[in-house]
Amino acid sequence: MITDVVIAGGGPNGLMLACELSLAGVRPVVLERLPEPSREAKANGLLGQVVTMLDRRGLHERLSGSPEPPRPNSAYFMFGAMGLDLSLLEDSPVHALPVPQRRIVQVLHERAVELGVEIRRGHEVVGLSQDDDLVTVDVASPGGAYQLRARYLVGADGAHSATRKLSGIGFPGVTYDRMTVRSAHATVPADWVDPATGALDVPGHGAVLPFLPHRTERGGFSYAPMPGHPPLVSTTEWDQAETAAPMSLDELRESIRRVLGVDVPLGPPDGEGPHVLRRLTGGNTRVAERFSDRRVFLIGDAAHVYAATGGGPGLNLGLQDAVNLGWKLATVLRGGAPPALLDSYETERRRAADRMVVNARAQAALIAPGDDVTGLRELFTELLRDRSTVQRLAGLVAGADVRYDMGGPEAHPLVGRFAPDMELDTPAGPVRLAELTRTARPLLLDLTEEASLTQELTLRGDHVDTVTARPRASAPTALLLRPDCYVAWASASPRPDAAEMEELRAALRRWFGLI
């Protein structure tokens, strides 16, 4: 048998890709090296545009436990351990969803199983070869070695990706070896926590806001009271002597004393684990030389890793890699796709990856020790009083400032951008845009007068969902959305003219091979 798609890696990115392919009618096989889901504490949540993307697949409620749609952070955030006053913005792009990575994996695994995905645990890719038509994957498993033949192989197998290495794809970048990060779940004195703000009021030092890194001349400190879990306390220091001793709470207490100049009495964590107690030295910012090699593709940490930005932005990027690639692979497998469709995966996602490099390097520079950095931070703090600066940095940390090349200079400003949230009045009643995108199909929104767009357009096949509606607020009059919710075409005309109709037909041909 020939499998359409083999996915190496059953973490968040691999499972997200499996769900996207299944929604499009493709049944992938997921190979996960670990026999059981990891209980290791990794990322503590999701940050940025991916929170909205998950809402548009109906997954936000499962992850948040609330039927309420995601709301942007409109209060404060951080960039380089400096405050971003998001209240200055009319529309903040920063969304945060505090949920442990193991819960993200659990929800995506459940969804994948619901969609009929085959997940093979304890199965590891150990070799591959490919020709013009197929990839042959060598697999090691508890039952012995075997081979799979597939039309495509996707490496979602992490920073040490076997898929990337076996494909001969380089992983250039920078290794930071000066930085030591110590982290632990621990208890803190209850009377030190401000019930109004959640800040940790450290005697002799001052208030430390929750979840936001705090820099001193001697290092960094953060306090993250995750819901339902003991707080995660972390420090960052530079040029620390190496040690082979196991990490301990005493070591973290001593590090806090050096960074803050005062003692913080940490206690052991409450409740059932797993609990974090780790020391990490160094970090990497790397982007693969290429994101594909003929019939092999890379997503997530297999394609890019970043130091100094935390797990949230990395998951933001990786899960959106999966959403970008999934519908394109499915379109090609169904037949009739434009020849350059798969090439657009690397073009688009490399742009997003390179933007994250800017984010990671800038933040690494701003949290480094030294008087010169302190001077830079003083100047930067002045710039952060400017609304346009806050808007630019908020878009950067959220991954919302990426615009794909999907139209010429005269195109509508939304073309190439992630579609904004919208509330619509349809013949069936009021709906949010997120409720119309859960099938992962192309979507044409006709908000024109008397649905004039739909009347003039004849689509070949049934590959595009068409919805006529009236917006509840100022909005474009028509939008063509790709399955990844990026705008392929838009109009502001009450009745699009002949030129705009031709642009729409060109977009349908370019992305879906229609008309």
Q: Collapse the DSSP code of 425 into the 3-class scheme (helix H, G, I; strand E, B; otherwise coil) and give the result.
A: strand
Distance CA 431, CA 444 (A): 15
pLDDT tens-digit series, residues 91-111: 899 998 988 888 999 999 999
Cα–Cα distance measured from residue 473 to residue 417, given in angstroms and rounded to the nearest whole number: 19
CA atoms within 13 A on the CB side of 385: 5
Query: What is the distance between the alpha carbons of residues 218 and 222, in angstroms, rounded to a whole number?
Result: 14
Highest mean pLDDT among 57-61, 409-413, 470-474: 57-61
Res 41: pLDDT? 66
Cα→Cα distances 265→186, 201, 203, 220, Å: 10, 13, 11, 17
Report how far residue 348's alpha carbon sits from residue 339's, in angstroms, rounded to the nearest whole number. 16
Task: Using pLDDT thresholds of 50, 70 and 90, give the confidence band for residue 39.
Answer: confident
How far is Cα 345 from Cα 354, in angstroms, rounded to an integer? 14
Average pLDDT over residues 132-159: 97
User: CA-CA distance, 309 to 243, in Å (whole number)?
Assistant: 25
* pLDDT score of 100: 85
pTM over 0.75? The answer is: yes
Helix axes 343-367, 387-398, angle to 10 degrees: 120
Q: Is the pLDDT of residue 458 over 90?
A: no
Give the separation between CA 353 and CA 273, rounded to whole angstroms: 33
Residue holding tokens 């898929």?
Answer: 163
Locus of tokens 């076996």: 166
Q: Residue 43 has what pLDDT? A: 75
Position 416 scores a pLDDT of: 96
In sequence order, what DSSP letters do the residues of 128-170 get, joined into one string? EEE-SS-EEEEEE-TT--EEEEEEEEEE---TT-HHHHHTT--
Largest CA distance in the chain: 72
